[in-house]
Chain A
Amino acid sequence: MSIDTETARRVAKLARIKVEDDALPALASEFSAILGFIEQLNEVDVEGVEPMTSVTPQRLKRRDDVVTDGNQQEAVLKNAPDAREGFFAVPKVVE
């Protein structure tokens, strides 16, 4: 399958990665090469085969429904690029 620059632009937008217009054609052609490689999978008969959800058959363990963590505001905010008054700060999102 060949990916056009419009699709490449849409994927970059979905992935929230800024790609300049002049870089889109090269990106689209890389996608096309990779997807071409992936398309070998169409040769495989997967009729009736379940998609794998867990590579080792196991039941996920449950723990008691109690609070096990918390009260670590300072540690949580420690690595934030912009933290103010106990919050993460971001550009304005509402007018």
Chain B
Amino acid sequence: MSELSKLTIAQARDAMRKGDTTSAEITSACLTAIEGADALGAFVHHTPEIAQAQAAAADLRIKAGDAPDMCGIPLGIKDLFCTKGVPSQAASRILEGFKPEYESTITSQLFDAGAVMLGKLNMDEFAMGSSNETSVYGNAVNPWRRTGDDAALTPGGSSGGSASAVAADLCLAATGTDTGGSIRQPAAFTGITGLKPTYGRVSRWGIVAFASSLDQAGPMTKDVRDAAIMLTAMAGHDPLDSTSADLAVPDFEAALTGDIRGKTIGIPKEYRMDGMPAVIEKLWEDGTTMLKDAGAKIVDISLPHTKYALPAYYVIAPAEASSNLARYDGVRFGHRAKLSHGDGITEMYEKTRAEGFGPEVQRRVMVGTYVLSAGFYDAYYNRARRVRTLIKQDFDTVFADGVDAILTPATPSAAFGLGEMTDADPIQMYLNDVFTVTVNLAGLPGIAVPTGQDAQGLPLGLQLIGRPWDEAGLLNVAYSLEQTAGFVAKPAKWW
């Protein structure tokens, strides 16, 4: 593997501007790294021709001297983003062969800024999963392994391909999306940084919808500075997404002073779960000490409805999914089942959706259908939305009391083995999102930062949660934590 694909966005930007290297060289290093990394299952559609053309154009812009920060930076794009003329399948059989006639707002903005697309990245089908095992493409694999053990581990999900690709230095950074933890959990499992912005900070237009009131895209990067740079390029108001906020986008990189003296950091007692592994508890305590030593004021806080976040999520997200996924009917795009003689349109719908959706997607669509059905709408869906209001009020209260950011673990464990959860009931898998899902329900920004390793050498991350629209302040606290934690470990190359 060439050293160039290991660069951060900031390092590559500065080196290209100085003329020390070119986008063509970095892009070619990434393409070589990708070619040798089939065992990771991260890239599922390769676009080397597009990448080379974009890199050549970026080099001209950089030479002309007015290139934006993302100019010439090679990225991986999660398969959930519609990219014009390039397969965009949401890792589902039902979108087999689908090549969008349009470009998502976020990828448009990134490409307009000169970024380079290396290809599309693996994920859980329709972003429903926490281990990347529901993908039609097969598993994405974590580049990290336990010390002295060859067992293949999950990179997390649903943005598993994004996490694997960034951690293995196949690309400089990647896009992810996060409905219940799908950026932050895989980031924590692979030792990288993952940011979910405030709901409405980035446009959802052209991203295959899962649960529209929760979905938000964000950067998955090698460090906090890169997250700041990439978010600046991704964010902004979009008339095509009525929920995107018409707010000015600050220069997030400029907010990274590392000075958090006088900031108040909340430690929520409800996140101290029964049976929490000692290593996670220690990671959390160490992180708290780091922020305290950096001059922050640490306060104990209470978010009393935390326990109800996961059950509320597993009503609201499937309900919205059942509605969003109704469009996959075998008529306008994607897969249509072969019909038997005499089959009508209902059989076409039912067979198409049975063939096209995998088991987890079918399960969630049907749970969503059930909780929205006559007689259950109030008991399930409306009750979950009321609980969601209470969860958001918990956060509103602590922010009103002067808390600037909240520190929690990102995941309840390190990465687990692929196949390890196959026989567990679906709820065991859902528990992966126990620390992250509250943030989506409350629409807040959250970031996972790697801060330690477990006894077997696997990376572990902490999560910081910020005030609405205060990604700048959040990134600065994350930057301070990153600097003190000094996490520099990389997976040993085996692929």
Which B-chain residue is minimally distant from A20 (CB atoms)? B354
How distant is the Cα of A53 from the Cα of B99 in the complex, in angstroms? 33
> Distance in Å from the Cβ of A70 to the closest Cβ of chain B?
14
CB neighbours (8 Å) of A67 from chain B are none
A40 & B333 in contact (Cβ 8 Å cutoff): no
> Distance in Å from the Cβ of B340 to the closest Cβ of chain A?
11
Q: Is the interface of B mostly helix, strand, loop or mixed?
A: helix
CB neighbours (8 Å) of B200 from chain A are 56, 58
* Interface residue B493 (Cβ < 8 Å from any Cβ of A): no
CB neighbours (8 Å) of B382 from chain A are 51
Contact indicator per residue, chain B 311-353, by CB within 8 Å of chain A (1) or not (0)? 1101100000010001001111111100100011111111101
Within 8 A of B (CB), among A51-95: 51-56, 58, 60-61, 63, 72, 75-76, 78-82, 88, 90-93
Q: Which single member of A16, A37, A88, A93 contacts B350 (CB below 8 Å)?
A: A16
How distant is the Cα of A63 from the Cα of B77 in the complex, in angstroms? 31
A50 & B354 in contact (Cβ 8 Å cutoff): no
How distant is the Cα of A8 from the Cα of B310 in the complex, in angstroms? 23
Given contacts A51-B386, A91-B348, 15 further A-B contacts (CB under 8 A): A11-B366, A17-B354, A18-B350, A27-B363, A37-B310, A37-B430, A38-B315, A41-B380, A43-B308, A49-B386, A56-B245, A60-B243, A61-B242, A79-B100, A79-B333
B353 & A18 in contact (Cβ 8 Å cutoff): yes
How distant is the Cα of A40 from the Cα of B307 in the complex, in angstroms? 9
Within 8 A of A (CB), among B53-100: 97-100
Q: Which single member of A38, A46, A61, A93 contacts B386 (CB below 8 Å)?
A: A46
* Interface residue B7 (Cβ < 8 Å from any Cβ of A): no
User: Which of B14-22, B162-170, B248-256, B387-395 makes up part of the contact surface?
Assistant: B387-395
> Distance in Å from the Cβ of A17 to the closest Cβ of chain B?
5
How distant is the Cα of A76 from the Cα of B430 in the complex, in angstroms? 37
- Say whether, besides A33-B427, A44-B305, A80-B331, A91 and B365 are in contact (CB < 8 Å): no
CB neighbours (8 Å) of B322 from chain A are 15
The 6 closest A-B CB pairs, nearest first, are: A55-B443, A51-B385, A81-B336, A79-B333, A18-B350, A46-B386
> Distance in Å from the Cβ of A39 to the closest Cβ of chain B?
8
B101 & A79 in contact (Cβ 8 Å cutoff): yes
Q: List 23 A-B contacts (CB under 8 A).
A: A3-B370, A7-B370, A15-B322, A16-B329, A17-B353, A17-B365, A17-B366, A30-B363, A31-B370, A34-B314, A38-B315, A39-B311, A44-B387, A46-B390, A49-B389, A52-B386, A55-B442, A56-B245, A75-B101, A81-B336, A88-B332, A90-B331, A93-B345
How distant is the Cα of A55 from the Cα of B213 in the complex, in angstroms? 8
- Say whether, besides A56-B443, A79-B332, A44 and B390 are in contact (CB < 8 Å): yes
A18 & B366 in contact (Cβ 8 Å cutoff): no
B334 & A41 in contact (Cβ 8 Å cutoff): no
- Say whether, besides A15-B369, A31-B367, A79-B333, A38 and B314 are in contact (CB < 8 Å): yes
A34 & B349 in contact (Cβ 8 Å cutoff): no
B425 & A49 in contact (Cβ 8 Å cutoff): no
The residue in B101, B336, B430 that gathers the most chain A C-beta atoms within 10 A of its C-beta is B101
* Interface residue B176 (Cβ < 8 Å from any Cβ of A): no
* Interface residue B185 (Cβ < 8 Å from any Cβ of A): no
Which B-chain residue is minimally distant from A62 (CB atoms)? B242
Q: Which single member of A18, A54, A55, A78 contacts B351 (CB below 8 Å)?
A: A18
Within 8 A of B (CB), among A9-47: 11-12, 14-19, 27, 30-31, 33-35, 37-44, 46
CB neighbours (8 Å) of B402 from chain A are none
A82 & B373 in contact (Cβ 8 Å cutoff): no
A12 & B366 in contact (Cβ 8 Å cutoff): yes
Q: Which single member of B199, B308, B369, B371 contacts A40 (CB below 8 Å)?
A: B308
> Distance in Å from the Cβ of B218 to the closest Cβ of chain A?
16
* Interface residue B198 (Cβ < 8 Å from any Cβ of A): yes
How distant is the Cα of A38 from the Cα of B331 in the complex, in angstroms? 34
Q: Which single member of A16, A30, A40, A63 contacts B349 (CB below 8 Å)?
A: A16
B390 & A79 in contact (Cβ 8 Å cutoff): no
B354 & A51 in contact (Cβ 8 Å cutoff): no
> Distance in Å from the Cβ of A76 to the closest Cβ of chain B?
8
The residue in B245, B312, B346, B386 that gathers the most chain A C-beta atoms within 10 A of its C-beta is B386
Which A-chain residue is minimally distant from B239 (CB atoms)? A63
CB neighbours (8 Å) of B261 from chain A are none
Q: Which single member of A46, A78, A82 contacts B101 (CB below 8 Å)?
A: A78
A60 & B242 in contact (Cβ 8 Å cutoff): yes
